[in-house]
Structure formats: C-alpha cells, structure tokens
Amino acid sequence: MRPVMKISDRDVLLVIDVQNDFCTGGALAVPGGEKVIPAINRIAQRFGNMVLTQDWHPGDHVSFASNHTGKQPFQTIELDYGTQVLWPPHCVQGSSGAEFHRDLDVTRASLVVRKGFRRGIDSYSALVENDKRTPTGLLGYLRERELKTVFVAGLALDFCVRFSAEDARKAGFEVVVIEEACRGIDLDGSVAAAHRSFRDLGISIVGAEAFL
C-alpha cells in the first residue's frame, strides 16, 4: 500500500484549463479531457486552497492559425519570444468553449487566473506567459499566501500543466503533478518530453490513489 498524501494548509491544488474547448466535442479537445474531472473533484475535497486557470483568448489572438494566411493548425511560426505552435481558435473570451466544464466543481476555488488574454503572447503557464517575462499574478498570490507545495492537475499534461509545473518549481515551490488527473495531447512526443522535464527538475508525479 502506498502512503496516503498528507495535505496541509500550505498546499494548493492548481487545476489547469478544464474548459469545454479542451474536452470532447471542443475546438481543441484533449483526448479524454473530461475524464480528469471526477478525480479532480474528489481530490479537491482534501485541499483548503484551490486555484483554477482559464484560457481566455481574444478572437484575433496570435496563436490562432486562422489569423495567419496560409497556415494550418499545429504548424509553427517564429515570434519575438520564440517558436509558437498555431492552434485552432479556442477558449475565445465569453464563448461557451471558454467556460469551465459543467461537471467541474468550482465552488472550492479561491482564485481564477485568466491567461492568454494578451493578443500578442500565448500563455501556457499559470505563472508566466510564453515570453517568460510577463507574470500572470499567480506567483505573487502564492507567495503572499505563504503556500509551499503546488499540486497540479488538468489539461493538457504536455503543455499548460507542464509549463505551470516547471515555472512553479523554478520559482522555488515544491511541485507534484497528479498524473491521473491530467490528460495529454502528445504532439511529436510532447508527453515523453514533459516526463523528462519533470524528472530533471525534481517535480514529483503521483497517482490519484495517493489521495484516497
């Protein structure tokens, strides 16, 4: 038997982008995306601190393939902050696709962080946008609340979950990824790359059974 994870008031559950457009039938559906919801809802009951993130793009966002003549989704372009994957339009501000999935229990959340609302910068991470300079405000919140360990769940494992976990670790937090409460896109080996990164940075990976 694995030990049950002890959760304290210095721990926070960070739930990434469980929105309609990332679930089955959505504009950028992660395979089985909505299947993370029962695990997240159950695990959240163990936490006194919970933060949700929400992709929140303007319609003319730079990451949308439709805003670049001749470009197709999943191709890349070079921006001043580096290589940017082009996505189908998704999580457009005020749209039903941008809403949290109806089955996600949002009532325990003390904060919702909207990201990707600046037209010219994509934002995978919950802490820092893709230029690696523009903060979302979450880092200040975590430090002001004197939180120590960030448990990460949600969508997608190999993009927004990965970037959020990496940035929290680099900022000095202990970080735990709850793998069974995540799903990945797996674009050109991106899930395996995420696992290598977690290992290299000392980010722990646990299963949902640790919270039973």
| C-alpha–C-alpha distance, residues 84 and 77, integer Å | 5
Active site residues: 17, 115, 160
| C-alpha–C-alpha distance, residues 112 and 103, integer Å | 17
Alpha helix ranges (H) inside the chain = 37-44, 138-144, 162-170, 190-201
202: left (phi over 0), alpha (psi -120 to 50) or beta: left
74: left (phi over 0), alpha (psi -120 to 50) or beta: left
